[in-house]
Amino acid sequence: MLDLQLIRNHPERVREAIRHKGLGDGALVDDVLERDAHRRKVLTDLQDAQARSNRISKDIGALMREGKKDEAQERIAETGRLKERIKELEDEAREAEEALDRLMLDVPNVPHESVPVGQTPEHNAVVEEDGDKPDFNFEPLPHWELLERHELADFERGAKVTGAGFPFYMGRGAKLQRALVHFFLDQAADAGYHEVQAPLMVNADSARGTGQLPDKEDLMYEVPRDDLYLIPTAEVPVSNLYRDEILDPDTLPIKLCAYTPCFRREAGSYGKDVRGLNRLHQFDKVELLQFVTPESSYAALEEMRSDAERLLRLLDLPYRRLLMCTGDMGFTQAKKYDLEVWSGGQERWLEVSSISNFEAFQARRMQIRYRPDGGKTDFVHTLNGSGLALPRVVAALLENNQQADGSIRLPEVLHQYTGFDQIG
RNA sequence: GGAGGGGUGGCAGAGUGGUCGAAUGCACUGGUCUUGAAAACCAGCGUGCCCUCGCGGGCACCGGGGGUUCGAAUCCCUCCCCCUCCGCCA
């Protein structure tokens, strides 16, 4: 949610943000301003009426105490009309409030000034490329063939047991997953992130807090009987950790990391993108999160970005960093980087991390505040980033490190975690 | 799942229909005292919103929602959460 003050004071900036994100012409802003004016008018009327009512009740109390029952009765008689009026105004105020809230949920976050303006992925800026793409003197295989050859994963049985997109990882495949999770968490700890283990299901309030509800409902699996949702990312439960709280400034920045499986319905995504590990309904991810003061959030974004990039360098995976343009960055973000690894078998870039600064957009929705020393409470800024999502990292590791004889050499940093240095 | 108890300010803990946004203690902040500190004493100390250039004023909030009443922390309904005991169970 955006700051209503910002819309009031700089409506043109918000209109521009809406256009740049490709979400309309910005007429929404005028609706908001109109609704806001109306709400305030109704609120003022209501509060006037309530103040009068309170005055009368207080007088009645005083009269009762003095034993002037008759006078009290007279005053009670006066209140009938006023009570009705208050009821009407309360209804009006609630409607006005709800109408404004609904509109406010449609207002996207304003992109940071450093974000390139554009509507399509072509406008994303490739900021950096690092590492050498593998140069094979044989025909490299895509990872799904490598998985099959080495019996690292079983997609067919996964489909039987659950459905497409729910593979079993087997033997060294399973161990590799566990090793990566362990490695990522250790690295995060070294970088100062505090590990948490989060619930894998959340309630509707939490899903709303991070913006999965109301509009991205199709993303999540539901457990209707208990009114819960399976998490599409650890971002959802962990961001909500401090919902409705006022944080002590001494505790900031709060840096958290969490390993969780992620569940995504991925409704409507078909095509060859979905082969193998490229797109799954369940996958593992280590997520990094930070709660910071507003003035430090962009430094934190760069820090988090380099925390994620370090993992790719340690794994010796060639990657590139994209600065997402206004139209490709999403509704809630102010600035977002994507990290993509090169997969040598498929000869394409695979997104393995997305690192975002939400500024106060999520915090306002979740009511996460802090009290600056001696000052008024203010919303924290929130950031999160994958560090990293496993399946595509596995895909790239297998593809890039395959040898002519079909074996796969694992990067050295993983040996102590896997207990083996190659597959096959 | 069954039975009972309970949710009040940062914490502890009063308050069971009217001068209660809420006693008191602790914590915290400022001041007095002191060479300094502690102690003691004095004062301040919740959140959100609305009106106002400002001074200031108003409204709402005692787990959430609804109701009774001129008036609700207090009474009623409902939901949620916590605790104790029993059952079940990784």
The per-residue pLDDT for range A2-38, each reduced to its tens digit, is 999 999 999 999 999 999 999 998 899 999 999 999 9
CA atom of A239 to C1′ atom of B15, Å: 37
pLDDT band at A383 (very low <50, low <70, confident <90, very high): very high
Nearest nucleotide to A56 (CA to C1') is B70
Given A15, A264, A364, A365, which residue is catalytic? Answer: A264
Dihedral Cα A262, A366, A301, A17, nearest 10 deg: 110
pLDDT value for A61: 85
Judge whether residue A102 has pLDDT over 70: yes
| Boundary residue ending a domain (A75, A105, A135) | A105
- For residue A357, which phi and psi values (nearest 5 degrees)? -105, 125
Q: Which stretch of DSSP H or E encloses residue A154?
A: strand A153-154
Q: Which of A35, A39, A172, A279 is catalytic?
A: A279
User: pLDDT per residue over A318-331, tens digit each?
Assistant: 999 999 999 999 89
| Residue A267 CA distance to nucleotide B75 C1' (Å) | 51
| Domain-embedded: residue A216 | yes
Same domain, A137 and A93: no
A230 CA – B80 C1', rounded, Å: 21
Last residue of a domain, one of A43, A77, A105: A105
Whether residues A12 and A126 share a domain: the answer is: no
Are A87 and A126 part of one and the same domain? Answer: no
Whether residues A405 and A261 fall in one domain: yes
Give the per-residue pLDDT at A358: 95
Average pLDDT for A85-99: 89
* A35 labelled catalytic: no
* Alpha carbon separation from A151 to A145, A146, A282, A361 (Å, rounded): 10, 8, 19, 45
- Residue A263 placed within a domain: yes
pLDDT score of A270: 64
A316 and A386 co-located in one domain: yes
Q: Which nucleotide is nearest to A374 (CA to C1')?
A: B29
- Give yes or no: residues A330 and A393 share one domain: yes
Q: What is the pLDDT of residue A371?
A: 80
| Closest nt by CA–C1' to A44 | B50
Q: Are residues A50 and A85 in the same domain?
A: yes
Q: What pLDDT shows up at residue A71?
A: 81
pLDDT value, residue A62:
83
Q: DSSP 3-state assignment of A230?
A: strand
Domain that includes residue A40, residue range: 4-105
Task: Tell me the CA–C1' distance in angstroms for A252 and B59.
Answer: 34
- In this model, does residue A40 exceed pLDDT 90? yes
Residue A392 annotated among the catalytic residues of the structure: yes
Give yes or no: residues A244 and A345 share one domain.
yes
pLDDT in tens, A120-153: 999 999 988 999 999 999 999 999 999 999 999 9
Q: How far is the CA of A247 from the C1' of B26 (A)?
A: 21
Q: Which nucleotide is nearest to A36 (CA to C1')?
A: B50
At residue A203, the pLDDT reads 87
Task: Identify which has the larger pLDDT, A323 or A222.
Answer: A323
Query: Considering the domain boundaries, does residue A116 fall inside one?
Result: no
Name the closest nucleotide to A63, judged by C1' and CA.
B18
Residue A264 a catalytic site member: yes
Distance A278 CA to B29 C1' (A): 57
A137 and A212 part of one domain: yes
Mean pLDDT, range A245-264, rounded to an integer: 90
- Do both A171 and A32 map to the same domain? no
Same domain, A93 and A150: no
Is A354 marked active-site?
yes
pLDDT of residue A63: 83
Determine the Cα–Cα distance for residues A417 and A119; give it in Å rounded to an integer: 42
> Strand B neighbours with CB under 7 A?
A 4, 40, 43-44, 46-48, 50-51, 53-58, 60-61, 64-65, 76, 79, 83, 246, 369, 371, 376-377
Whichever domain contains A85, its CATH number is 1.10.287.40
Q: What pLDDT is stored for residue A272 in this prediction?
A: 60
pLDDT band with cut points at 50, 70 and 90 for residue A271: low
Nucleotide nearest A39, CA–C1', reads: B50
| Secondary structure tally for chain A: helices H, strands E | 13, 18
Among A392, A327, A274, residue whose Cα is nearest residue A21: A327
Decide if pLDDT at A268 tops 70.
no
* Nearest protein residue to the C1' atom of B28, measured from CA: A374
- Residue A418 domain-assigned? yes
Domain count, chain A: 2
Average pLDDT over chain A, rounded to whole? 91
Instruction: Return the percentage of chain A with pLDDT > 70, whole number.
Output: 99
pLDDT tens digits for range A281-321:
999 999 999 999 998 999 999 999 999 999 999 999 999 99
CATH number of the domain within which A202 lies = 3.30.930.10
Q: Give the mean pLDDT of A203-226.
A: 83
The pLDDT tens digits of the residues spanning A385-396 come to 998 999 999 999
Residue among A297, A343, A354, A356 flagged as catalytic: A354
The separation, in Å, between residue A375 CA and nucleotide B42 C1' comes to 25
User: DSSP secondary structure string, A242-302?
Assistant: GTTEEE-GGGPSEEEEEEEEEE---TT--SGGGSTTSS-SEEEEEEEEEEE-GGGHHHHHH
- DSSP letter for each residue of A156-198: HHHHHHT-TT-PEE-THHHHHHHHHHHHHHHHHHHTTPEEE--
Q: Which of A196, A270, A299 is nearest to A240 (CA)?
A: A196
Q: How confident is the model at residue A374 (pLDDT cuts 50, 70, 90)?
A: low
Under 8 Å CB-to-CB from A13, ≥6 apart: which residues?
A: A6, A110
| Chain B nucleotides with an atom closer than 7 Å to a protein C-beta | 18-19, 47-51, 58-60, 70-71
